[in-house]
Amino acid sequence: MLSMKFVVTLTLVIVTILGCVIDGYNCRIVQFIFGDSLSDVGNNEQLPKSLAKANLPWYGIDFGNGLPNGRFTNGRTVSDIIGDDMGLPRPPAFLDPNLDEDTILNNGVNYASGGGGILNETGGYFIQRLCMYKQIELFQGTQELIARKIGKNESRKFFEEARYVVALGSNDFINNYLMPVYSDSWKYNDNSFMDYLVGTLRDQLKILHGLGARKLMVFGLGPMGCIPLQRVLSTSGECQDKTNKLAKQFNEATDKMMQELSTSLTDATYKFGDAFDVVDDVIKNPNRYGFTNSDSPCCSFGRIRPALTCVPASILCKDRSKYVFWDEYHPSDSANMIIAKELIKKFKFTRVNQDDNGDGSPSPAPALGPAADAPSGVADAPSAADGPSGADAPSASS
């Protein structure tokens, strides 16, 4: 006859196992992403008045069926790649019409919005975008929804076990402080604007902590003075040194702030992901990383620069895996892999969902894309059935 102690233990084990299914609650750890166009996976597609959208060919050409999916690149974002490596499911856009409680419990949510910034005023000329405070407000609504679904206690555990990514800041400079159409450009100097920006981010991270965010990473800024748009707007065609100095200053101040929060906030594991140096090296020494071009976009409108975004009539480079930049603003899938691999290596990320085998992740960017002299690449673009070869792309271990 089984002892009562054994029966109780067995019952607890069964309840624990079945608890992953009851009421749609999923025991897998998910992630919640806050960011701008570098992390957007479709939120801006649902903002009817937004001028910052990736809804035209050739965005998404190397992702899934090759059609635009809301990502401002040809393939995956850095968050996609790091999440895949950690066994985290890819969170859908908050504004995805199909989002519901079960989807949130199984996959998390991505609130990132092209043109969004840490500051409310950033990116105003894009008409519609989700700034960081608005993204936090939407996250609060998500929490209320999940609490009604699985109860307050289970909801609290769910959100405390989740992973969080915050990746904003570049728009606060490029589409705010460095543009004279914004009042911040004459209200502040470099130091006072930095204090304002990093202080606002600190307040936002403290709010997230109050909402249960315990394991959180803030991505730093890359050498944004070297993006093709900044180069073409300069008189020399070289990187804009002032813009890069601001990015480094932001990284240093944010890194210090993150260390302070990690020690002062209860149970907080807050990290700062700085990939400035590796991206800077990729841009200065592209051949070392397998690239042939690091100063112009793969997807451009011929000699008309800047075209800002890809359009159906854009000319694509011959080999997308050889270009650091996809358009005037955003890195290519191959560059995103290198950035992600650097962060994975630096922070020794480990898999959090061991049962997740990563099936369904898109392949790396193909080695060969539409010919550079094709007007729109219709004839040469790979079909969804072809699938990318990835022969010359960096290792997919990232």
**382 in a domain, yes or no?**
no
Here the CATH number for the domain that contains residue 163 is 3.40.50
Distance CA(29)–CA(44), nearest Å, equals 26
Distance CA(83)–CA(88), nearest Å, equals 5
Q: pLDDT for 75-120, tens place per residue?
A: 999 999 999 999 999 999 999 999 999 999 999 999 999 999 999 9
What pTM does this model have? 0.86
Q: Which residues of 197-228 are buried (b: 16+ CB within 10 A; e: fewer)?
A: bbebbbebbebbbebbbbbbbbbbbbbbbbbb
| End-to-end Cα distance, the chain | 53
**238 in a domain, yes or no?**
yes
Specify the number of domains making up the chain: 1
Average pLDDT over residues 328-344: 95
* Helix, strand, or coil (residue 34): strand
Annotation says 330 is catalytic: yes
Catalytic residue (one of 62, 96, 319, 327): 327
**310 in a domain, yes or no?**
no
Rg of the chain over all Cα atoms, to the nearest angstrom:
22
Annotation says 327 is catalytic: yes
Residue partners of 138: CB distance under 8 A and separation at least 6: 94, 111, 130
Residues paired with 237 in a beta bridge: none
Q: Nearest Cα to 131, choosing from 165, 168, 97?
A: 168
Locate 80 and state its tokens: 């996609």
Contact 388, 64 (CB under 8 A): no
- At 27 the pLDDT is 67
**389 in a domain, yes or no?**
no
Q: pLDDT for 291-331, tens place per residue?
A: 999 999 999 887 777 767 888 889 999 999 999 999 999 99
Confidence of residue 53 (pLDDT cuts 50, 70, 90): very high
Q: Which domain holds residue 77?
A: 23-285+329-347
Residue partners of 101: CB distance under 8 A and separation at least 6: 24, 145, 146, 149
Catalytic residue (one of 84, 85, 314, 330): 330
Q: At what angle do helices 241-264 and 276-284 cross, to 10 degrees?
A: 160
- At 320 the pLDDT is 97
* Helix, strand, or coil (residue 270): strand
Q: Nearest Cα to 342, choosing from 256, 259, 271, 277?
A: 277
DSSP assigned state of 317: P
**272 in a domain, yes or no?**
yes
Distance CA(186)–CA(179), nearest Å, equals 9
**8 in a domain, yes or no?**
no
Count the Cβ atoms, other than its own, within 10 Å of residue 38: 25
**373 in a domain, yes or no?**
no
**In the chain, what are the helix, strand and coil shares in percent, each to the nearest 5?**
40, 10, 50
Q: Is the pLDDT of residue 280 over 80?
A: yes
Environment class of 138 (CB within 10 Å of its CB; exposed 0-12, middle 13-18, buried 19+) = middle
- At 305 the pLDDT is 73
Q: pLDDT for 184-206, tens place per residue?
A: 999 999 999 999 999 999 999 99
Q: Nearest Cα to 246, choosing from 195, 308, 297, 306?
A: 195
Catalytic residue (one of 37, 79, 294, 321): 37
Confidence of residue 387 (pLDDT cuts 50, 70, 90): very low
**396 in a domain, yes or no?**
no
Residue 319 CA, distance from chain mean position: 24
Distance CA(321)–CA(397), nearest Å, equals 16
